[in-house]
């Protein structure tokens, strides 16, 4: 669990802090602009604060706010939030063997605080779940360090953005720093030819399928890229050197 003091005894906790710290500025810029955008799109300051503190999922929040302002039916808003978050369902399938030794409420709490970048850093560092209790708790500590930085950077910037909503012009485009943070992490994952293929196919498919509702283009793009890479794995130019470990 992310807030337990025992994590801080592991050096992996501080490694997690350091790794996530490298993108904290981008996360904060993104959180700031999400805070600004929520108020500018029609939520009151109190509503925007509650949404930030409770929902903790930037892209789902940005998708939902205009729908709330337009008076969309509740189930449509929730379905949209679910679809925007579907990538987390994929992440949770991946993280399951790393977390199943924990009680259920701790698993759910850990999942709740694990955003995109925390997951990506974790998957990059630990291709396989720990085999012993000690290894598993080191992995937990690393994830906890990542999540702590992500949470603090996001929440503090988001609350600041809500407070300053009428002073920061969205026209400055500070939110682009969040995209650059994701781009940097994407570059760090491009460690094999097939992964570069995966990124190219997913990017092209996401643009081509943009017109799909509820941000489903993101899911379609992931499915296309993964399916194509699984096929290419079996073909001669890629067959060697791809079987080794990084997830």
Partner 1 sequence: MLELDPWTLLTIVLMGVVTVITRGFFFISSKPWTLPHWAQRGLQYAPIAALAAVVIPEVVTTQGTLVSTWQDARLFAAAAGVAWFVWQRSVLGTIVAGMAVYLPLHIGLGW
Q: Of residues 145-184, which lie at the interface with partner 1 (CB under 8 A)?
A: 172-173, 176-177, 179-184
| Pick 8 or 238: Cβ nearer partner 1 | 238
Site for partner 1 in 7-66 (CB under 8 A): 22-23, 25-26, 29, 43-47, 50-51, 54-57, 59-61, 64
Nearest to 234 by CA among 192, 191, 194: 194
Of the candidate spans 4-12, 136-144, 153-161, 217-225, the one that interacts with partner 1 by CB under 8 A turns out to be 217-225
Do the Cβ atoms of 176 and 143 come closer than 8 Å? Answer: no
> How many CB atoms lie under 10 A from the CB of residue 186?
14
**Interface pick for partner 1 out of 4, 89, 134, 164 (rule CB under 8 A):** 89
Site for partner 1 in 112-141 (CB under 8 A): 112, 114, 116, 119-120, 123-124
Smallest separation (angstroms) from partner 1 to the CB of 97 = 7
Smallest separation (angstroms) from partner 1 to the CB of 234 = 10
> How many CB atoms lie under 10 A from the CB of residue 217?
17
Smallest separation (angstroms) from partner 1 to the CB of 228 = 9
> How many CB atoms lie under 10 A from the CB of residue 43?
22
Residue pointed to by tokens 């283009």: 217
**Lookup: tokens for 136:** 């598993």
**Interface pick for partner 1 out of 82, 134, 156, 239 (rule CB under 8 A):** 82
Burial of 167 (0-12, 13-18, 19+ CB in 10 A): exposed
Let me know the angle formed at the C-alpha of 70 by 64 and 73, rounded to the nearest 5 degrees. Answer: 70
**Interface pick for partner 1 out of 62, 168, 195, 214 (rule CB under 8 A):** 195
């Amino acid at each position: 669990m992310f807030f337990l003091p025992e994590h801080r005894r592991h050096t992996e906790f501080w490694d997690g802090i350091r790794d996530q710290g490298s993108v904290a500025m981008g996360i904060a810029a993104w959180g700031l602009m999400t805070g600004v955008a929520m108020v500018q799109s029609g939520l009151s300051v109190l509503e925007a604060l509650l949404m930030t503190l409770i929902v903790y999922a930037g892209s789902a929040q940005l998708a939902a706010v205009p729908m709330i302002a337009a008076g969309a039916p509740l189930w449509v808003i929730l379905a949209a939030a679910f679809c925007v978050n579907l990538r987390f369902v994929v992440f949770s399938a991946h993280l399951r063997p790393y977390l199943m030794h924990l009680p259920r409420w701790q698993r759910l709490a850990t999942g709740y605080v694990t955003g995109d970048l925390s997951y990506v850093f974790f998957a990059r560092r630990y291709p396989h779940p720990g085999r012993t209790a000690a290894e598993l708790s080191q992995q937990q500590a690393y994830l906890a360090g990542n999540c702590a930085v992500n949470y603090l950077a996001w929440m503090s910037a988001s609350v600041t953005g809500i407070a300053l909503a009428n002073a920061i012009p969205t026209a400055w485009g500070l939110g682009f720093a969040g995209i650059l943070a994701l781009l940097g992490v994407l570059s760090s994952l491009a460690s094999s030819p097939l992964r570069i293929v995966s990124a190219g196919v997913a990017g092209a498919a996401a643009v081509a399928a943009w017109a799909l509702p509820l941000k489903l283009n993101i899911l379609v793009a992931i499915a296309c890229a993964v399916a194509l890479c699984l096929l290419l794995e079996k073909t001669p130019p890629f067959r060697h050197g791809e079987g080794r470990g990084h997830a």
